[in-house]
Amino acid sequence: MGKPLLEVVNLGVKYGPLQAVNYVSFQLEPGRILGIVGESGSGKSTLLWALTRLLPEAAALNSGEVWFDGEDLLRLAPDRLRALRGSRISYISQDPMTSLAPGLTIGQQMMDVLHREPWPAREKWARAVDSLDWVSLPDPEARMHMYPHELSGGQRQRVSIAMALMLKPDLVLADEPTTALDPTLEVEILALLRRLQRETGAAVIFVTHHLGVVHSLCDEVLVMKDGDIREAGTVAQVFAKPQDIYTQCLLRCDPARIINPTRRLPTMADAMAAPALPMTGPAGRIDTKSPAVLTLEGLSVTYHRRGLIPTVLGGKTESIHAVRQVSFDIKRGETVALIGESGSGKTTVARAILGLAQPEAGSIRLNGHELRGQNRNGWTAARAKVAMMFQDPGGSLSPRMTIARQVVEPLIIHGRATEATRGRALELLAMAGLESRYADRYPHELSGGQARRAGVARALALSPELIVADEPTAGLDVSVQGEVINLLNGLQEKLRIAILLITHNMAVVRHTADRAVVLLKGQVVETGPTAAIFAGAKEPYTRALIAAAQHNIPEPESL
């Protein structure tokens, strides 16, 4: 073993009374990639930002030493620590949408990173352009003059990476750098990181909740839970023979790691006891005789953008064809997955089904009744049969109402206030797997998985025939994704609900959907039974999504 680049000894961080990082120690050798994996609240990000004392005010370092190049970063004078930041140690942070300052151009921000360098402005500019080119950002010279909001999420993350690696640091600290990205983009960014790591020889600490990412990117791994390191070792060792029970459960219940489709996934609670059950066929569950619950035929939606002055002056308006000629149907008891990247029109289809977007052409039939052209009352009646589960589980609950109060809210809205009793609320919560002690809590007192369950309970309030589930597992820890999938599958079997699943997480598709519809730029490019799509997808895009779900990161040479 060589001399470590970074040595962390007994590091402790407190948030108020909570010991968020519980006296942890580890080492990192130069040029190695260390993955720190754990669920939300495990202290993994806190640990990362503590290394260079960039914690929020509420957090306090209460123990430890961080040795880097012969100096303890926790006791280094602020000026000397600042001199290391950006030049020898740099960060790539989580959300590319908020990690760049909105009011400064990309060029200004990149030049600022070089503020200490003795080069003339022209050379700084040239070097910044070079780094953007290095991270494969097309047309770097023009991007330098752009503002962050003019770039896509993937492009912004490339900019952040260019900024972090511009001065060739020895250590790169990456805090979930791909979590906010689409799966296909995530794979691209990971491939980029791997290429840059090889070219610069920097050591990397990569914090993520994604086991697959660790497996394909890292050399070593730390598994964290509640502020403790539960397991440490090389990736090969830990993934092949996990020693700690928590790691073992985590590895067993990640939906992405379960290749054989199953409608009942193992969860953290029973991962060691029950192996994944084989997939049960759709026979008996899907009603093939009655007309489909939902039928879309040739659905097209166009958005128009116009301002006040162009309208007054009769200027031309800009039209965006969000969705063109989309057709599919969902039968009783069936789950259809609508797959596509951000901006492909998935959400627009959902909005059209709920009457929130005005279709230009085509038909939307619910149990054979045409919904297009319905008046307000017609739509209200239709919405009682179609329930929406929104993407952000916490954000789609009202922060001012208790859970019991808002799960029966749909009954009140649809004029059935007499049924909106506490008993009904508890019944709905029980169906969604939430115990009655959560009934009087407010959303901020729930975990992500519990908030998701509350969202499911609310969706069930009107006994819908169709549930539109928008990314039901997005933002949830691996350990609870399986639970949510099991919940939806179980409810479907019991209540014979039709489910339209909107997602780009192929792992979820595999374990829930009977059929899949793939959208690309507003048009259906592929459709068929889920198993057939997984076995032999025709579209390169679909194949890329499937590969992304399995974390087959392409080798840099093939890019």
Partner 1 sequence: MLTFILRRIALGFLVLTLATALLYILVQLAPGDPASAMLGPRASPKIKAEFREKLGLDRPMPVQIVNYLIAVGQGDLGTDLKTKRPVVETIAAHAPHTIALVGAALLLAAGLGIPLGAAAAVRRNGWFDRALGVASVSLISIPPVVIAIYGMLFFSAHLGWLPAIGAGEGFWDNLRHLLLPAFAVGIGWVGYIARLVRASMIEVLGANYIRNARSFGLPSRMVTYRYALRAAIAPTIAVLGVGVGYMLGTAAFAEIVFARPGIGKMMYDAVTLRNYPLTLGAVLCATALMVAATTVADILNAALDPRFKDGRE
Q: Which residues bind partner 1 (CB under 8 A)?
A: 49, 52, 54, 56-57, 82-87, 90-91, 93-95, 98-104, 112-113, 115-116, 147, 149, 160, 163-164, 307-309
Measured CA to CA, the distance from residue 67 to residue 302 in angstroms comes to 58
Q: What is the 3 state secondary structure string of 191-238? A: HHHHHHHHHHCCEEEEEECCHHHHHHHCCEEEEEECCEEEEEEEHHHH
* Closer residue to partner 1 in complex, CB, 176/231: 176
* Closer residue to partner 1 in complex, CB, 116/422: 116
Measured CA to CA, the distance from residue 346 to residue 539 in angstroms comes to 17
Burial of 122 (C-beta count, 10 Å sphere; 0-12/13-18/19+): exposed
Measured CA to CA, the distance from residue 187 to residue 123 in angstroms comes to 33
The helix/strand/coil state of 528 is strand
Contact 323, 345 (CB under 8 A): yes
327: Cβ–Cβ under 8 A, 6 or more apart, which residues? 296, 297, 298, 299, 362, 524
Q: How far is the CB of 83 from partner 1 (least distance, A)?
A: 6
Measured CA to CA, the distance from residue 188 to residue 172 in angstroms comes to 18
Contact 458, 411 (CB under 8 A): no
C-alpha angle with apex 177: 175 to 183, nearest 5 degrees? 140
* Closer residue to partner 1 in complex, CB, 153/378: 153
Measured CA to CA, the distance from residue 76 to residue 69 in angstroms comes to 12
Q: How far is the CB of 143 from partner 1 (least distance, A)?
A: 14
Q: How far is the CB of 5 from partner 1 (least distance, A)?
A: 18
Q: How far is the CB of 144 from partner 1 (least distance, A)?
A: 15
* Closer residue to partner 1 in complex, CB, 102/120: 102
Contact 217, 206 (CB under 8 A): yes
Q: How far is the CB of 75 from partner 1 (least distance, A)?
A: 18
* Closer residue to partner 1 in complex, CB, 91/246: 91
Q: How far is the CB of 157 from partner 1 (least distance, A)?
A: 12
Q: How far is the CB of 304 from partner 1 (least distance, A)?
A: 13
* Closer residue to partner 1 in complex, CB, 56/314: 56
For β-strands 369-370 and 359-366, DSSP reports them as antiparallel
Q: How far is the CB of 137 from partner 1 (least distance, A)?
A: 18
Distances (CA, A) of 549 to 76, 212, 255, 257: 43, 8, 10, 9
* Closer residue to partner 1 in complex, CB, 77/309: 309
* Closer residue to partner 1 in complex, CB, 172/330: 172
